[in-house]
């Protein structure tokens, strides 16, 4: 995360940049970087970054934060690494990770529906095609590994959404099949088609509203 109107944005730091060194000192931990920024509050430092497949150096001057009581540049820091497994363990770990991802996504959807039902603003932000395109560009700049992970995340999200019991989705069709099995006779096709058409129209309206919100958000950002 890169906060607006901070030394980081003024220096051109972007989401996904990796910090290699500060004034020639190699960075190994988040705490080391935080301490260097605090020590050099008000002083210009040279920060070497890794962005995609290239390295670049920017000049940045940390500012004192009254809230944090130390010098900051306005970024969220996280220590990352690439984990590699043998092919047989990779399949198992991928399956476990996918299951964990499905669980987290279901919890997020549950939170959205709960907040909407209670009249609260959803705690999770929602993006449409425009927002996804912007995020895809940001992730692609970080490298192909991150892009593949993002594509996998989108695929799992779409699969879960598709199975929601809503008309026009596969989940809605499955719901009608369950109702037919319980009633032991088919539902009138005209009624089913009308329900699916209404559901599709509502989905298109939702897509338009979310797309408009994304355009306003990213154009004014």
pTM for the whole structure = 0.62
75, exposed or middle or buried, with CB in 10 Å at 0-12, 13-18, 19+? buried
Of the pLDDT bands very low, low, confident and very high (cuts 50, 70, 90), residue 122 is low
pLDDT in tens, 139-153: 887 778 778 888 888
- Averaged pLDDT, 44-52: 88
Residue 156 main-chain phi, psi, to 5 deg = -65, -40
- To the nearest whole percent, how much of the chain has pLDDT over 90? 19
Higher pLDDT, 89 or 123: 89
Burial of residue 167, with CB atoms counted within 10 A of its CB: 0-12 exposed, 13-18 middle, 19 or more buried: buried
Task: Give me the domains of the chain, ranges plus CATH numbers.
Answer: 7-72 (2.30.42.10), 125-220 (no CATH)
Residues 6+ apart with CB under 8 A from 134: 214, 218
Among 86-95, 108-117, 150-159, where is mean pLDDT lowest? 108-117
Residue 198: per-residue pLDDT: 93
The answer, yes or no, to whether residue 221 has pLDDT greater than 60, is no
Contact 72, 24 (CB under 8 A): no
DSSP sequence for 157-209: HHHHHHTSS-TTSHHHHHHHHHHHHHHTSPPPHHHHHHHHHHHHHHHHHHHHH
How does DSSP classify residue 2? Answer: B
pLDDT grade for 164, boundaries at 50, 70 and 90: confident
Query: For position 206, what pLDDT does the model report?
Result: 86
* Distance separating alpha carbons of residues 125 and 146, to the nearest angstrom: 21
Between CA 219 and CA 221 the distance in angstroms is: 6
């Amino acid at each position: 995360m890169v906060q607006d109107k901070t030394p980081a944005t003024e220096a051109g730091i972007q989401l996904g940049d990796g910090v290699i060194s500060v004034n020639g000192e190699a960075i190994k931990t988040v705490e080391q970087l935080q301490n260097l920024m605090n020590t050099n509050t008000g002083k210009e430092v040279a920060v070497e970054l890794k962005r995609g497949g290239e390295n670049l150096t920017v000049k940045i001057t940390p500012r004192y934060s009254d809230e944090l009581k130390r010098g900051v540049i306005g970024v969220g820091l996280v220590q990352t690494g690439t984990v590699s497994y043998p092919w047989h363990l990779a399949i198992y770990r991928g399956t476990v990770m996918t299951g964990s991802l499905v669980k987290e996504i279901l919890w997020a959807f549950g939170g959205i529906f709960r907040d909407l039902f209670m009249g609260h603003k959803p705690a999770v932000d929602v993006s449409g095609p425009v927002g996804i395109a912007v995020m895809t560009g940001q992730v692609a700049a970080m490298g192909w590994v991150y892009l593949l992970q993002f594509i996998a995340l989108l695929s799992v999200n779409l699969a879960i959404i598709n199975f929601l019991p809503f008309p026009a989705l596969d989940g809605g069709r499955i719901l009608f099949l369950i109702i037919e099995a319980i009633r032991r006779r088919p539902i009138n096709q005209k009624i089913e088609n009308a329900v699916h058409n209404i559901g599709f129209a509502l989905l298109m309206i939702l897509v338009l509203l979310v797309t408009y919100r994304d355009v306003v958000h990213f154009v004014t950002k």
